[in-house]
Amino acid sequence: MAMLSRVADSIYWMNRYIERAENYARFIGVNFNLALDLPPNVNEQWEPLLIATADNFLFYQHYDEPTRENVINFMTFDKRNPNSIFSCLSYARENGRTIRESISKEMWENLNELYLWIRDVKPKAEWDLNHMQEFYTQVRNGTQLYYGVVDATITRNEAWHFGRLGRFMERADKTSRFLDVSYFTLLPDSDVTGSTLELVLWTAVLKSVSAYNMYRQQYQTLTPAHIVEFLILDKLFPRAMAHCIRQAELSLYEISGTPLTNRFSNQAEKMMGKLRSEIEFTEVEDIFNIGLHQYLDQFQIRGNEVSKSIFETYFDTKPVEAYQFQSQSQG
């Protein structure tokens, strides 16, 4: 039975918001990891997080300086920022509330508890590094518990696949932005060589996406080229961009019922397939020839175009019609 577009839209965005909240906690973790590894004469930089997430324009409408306290408050608690962790968990809960009949009781309880927890947190300027790290670890643990509850209690039907679609589209976008943090972070001269400082930054990015251990199993040395290859092109690591796009595509085909042996049955599948094939046939040398930032920028644009086509195919149409399999031949 075809799902109402309203329900599908809410499930899709509920998962995107949960994933976004987790990734914002991870973004801030980049700087926490850097603070532990950088030499004492190198200052923390917080503006790169704002630029990489494209939140910098809104930030400067409300704050004067990108200090640690200002950036953390803006990305975590500020209700004026629609991408803050608090806003994302609020939106996720609101989407869940409107479709409680379509999700499990345990799933709703987890969403509600996560929102109530962050609503009652009282941020303090005097929080030390350990206290802040503990808070963001709780955010990550709460969102991962949500995914565990979803996996354990939801039937693998259209709702499940719309949730996966939202989760992996969001994750692919945010992994590209983690990689972009390194581009926007300018490390000043110090007693440590530039290449070593650059490697410290790349290692912080790896750790922030929980990729450090899996990376070390696959590569013996830490190099920017290998890290880029792992986080963009690896097909098995769950936060690698290639893996995320492939998983999103699989769910897209499950939703429409299109056999994977066919080319596509709607514009969303067509655009997703093109993006997936381009990543699959890309080598790390190609990325550096284009320029890492330029490649990531283009990926984000293409990802937004795919998201727009998903909206137009499934959410911006009359119920039922959007979900009927288009059986025309795709010779």
- Tell me if the pTM is above 0.85: yes
What element of type H or E holds 19? helix 5-37
Residue 331 is predicted with a pLDDT of: 33
Total domain count for the chain?
1
pLDDT at position 80, please? Answer: 96
Q: What is the pLDDT of residue 208?
A: 87
Q: What is the pLDDT along the chain (331 residues), one digit of tens a residue?
A: 456 888 999 999 999 999 999 999 999 988 887 877 777 777 778 999 999 999 999 999 999 999 988 999 999 999 999 999 999 999 999 999 999 999 999 999 999 999 999 999 877 655 677 788 889 999 999 999 999 999 999 999 999 999 999 999 999 999 999 998 877 876 554 444 457 778 888 888 898 899 999 999 999 999 989 999 999 999 999 999 999 999 999 999 999 998 877 788 899 999 999 999 999 999 999 999 999 999 999 999 999 999 999 999 999 854 333 323 222 233 3
Residue 330 lies in a domain: no
The amino acid at residue 296 is: L
Is 325 part of a structural domain of the chain?
Answer: no
Helix (H) / strand (E) element for 293: namely helix 292-310
Whether residue 63 is contained in a domain is answered as yes
Domain of residue 14: give its range. Answer: 5-320
Q: Tell me, yes or no, whether 100 lies in a domain.
A: yes
Give the ranges where 120-193 is alpha helix by DSSP (H): 129-153, 158-184
Is residue 327 included in any domain, yes or no?
Answer: no
Are 319 and 6 a contacting pair, CB within 8 Å?
Answer: yes
The span from the first CA to the last CA of the chain, in angstroms, equals 27
Instruction: For residues 326 and 80, give the distance between their C-alpha atoms in angstroms, rounded to a whole number.
Output: 42
Q: What is the sign of the dihedral through the CA atoms of 174, 180, 186 and 191?
A: positive
Does 266 fall in a domain?
yes
Is the backbone of residue 154 left (phi > 0), alpha (psi -120 to 50) or beta? beta
Residue 282 lies in a domain: yes
Tell me what pLDDT residue 1 has: 40
Please give the structure tokens belonging to residue 31.
């700087």
Question: Within a domain: residue 147?
Answer: yes
Distance in angstroms (rounded) separating the CA atoms of residues 303 and 307: 6
**Nearest CA among 180, 46, 25, 153 for reference residue 88:** 25
The sign one gets for the Cα dihedral 299, 282, 21, 159 is positive
